[in-house]
């Protein structure tokens, strides 16, 4: 009985740590994807002198086919939703020249987990979803600002 009690207490103490580690790894995956994609778009804009044309969520702009792995772009993000290239779009009253949004689609909805979004923001920049390069945009979708 004592052994079972001790094992139960150890398991109860480990669960929050496991949840925290899982949340941190999901945040790291999203942050890495956004940084890699953002760098590819910036490189394209620098070389071409303009940003790629806007496309629907989950669709890779044709100009980016040689720069971004299409399967990485088109698969659902680990937080749900699909990556969405946006050019000159308004989010929360501000128009941005270049943004990568994670948009809900019929195939995959974005998980509205404030703690997870804050964890992503902490990995990417300042930990505040109202400032920095990772924010909450229109329709409560997470956005990564590539260029203002």
Residue 105 in tokens: 């689609």
pLDDT confidence of residue 22: 83
pTM of the predicted model, to two decimals?
0.86
pLDDT confidence of residue 85: 96
The values of phi and psi at residue 79, to 5°, are -100, 10
Question: How many domains does one find in the chain?
Answer: 1
Residue ranges for the chain with pLDDT beneath 50: none
pLDDT confidence of residue 123: 92
In the DSSP assignment, the letter for residue 80 is: S
Q: How far apart are CA 78 and CA 117, in angstroms?
A: 12
pLDDT confidence of residue 18: 76
pLDDT confidence of residue 147: 94
pLDDT tens figures, 2-28: 888 888 877 777 677 777 888 888 899
Domain range spanning residue 136?
Answer: 2-147
Q: How far apart are CA 41 and CA 145, in angstroms?
A: 11
């Amino acid at each position: 009985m004592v052994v079972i009690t001790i094992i139960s207490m150890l398991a109860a103490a480990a669960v929050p740590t496991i949840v925290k580690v899982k949340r941190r790894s999901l945040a790291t995956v999203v942050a890495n994807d956004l940084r890699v994609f953002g760098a590819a778009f910036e490189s394209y804009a620098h070389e071409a002198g303009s940003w790629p044309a806007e496309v629907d969520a989950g669709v890779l702009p044709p100009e980016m086919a040689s720069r971004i792995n299409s399967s990485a772009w088109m698969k659902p993000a680990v937080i749900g939703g699909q990556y969405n290239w946006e050019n000159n779009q308004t989010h929360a009253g501000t128009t941005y020249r270049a943004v990568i949004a994670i948009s809900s689609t019929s195939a995959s909805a974005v998980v509205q987990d404030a703690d997870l979004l804050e964890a992503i923001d902490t990995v990417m920049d300042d930990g505040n979803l109202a400032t920095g390069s990772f924010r909450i945009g229109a329709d409560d979708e997470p956005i990564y600002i590539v260029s203002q």
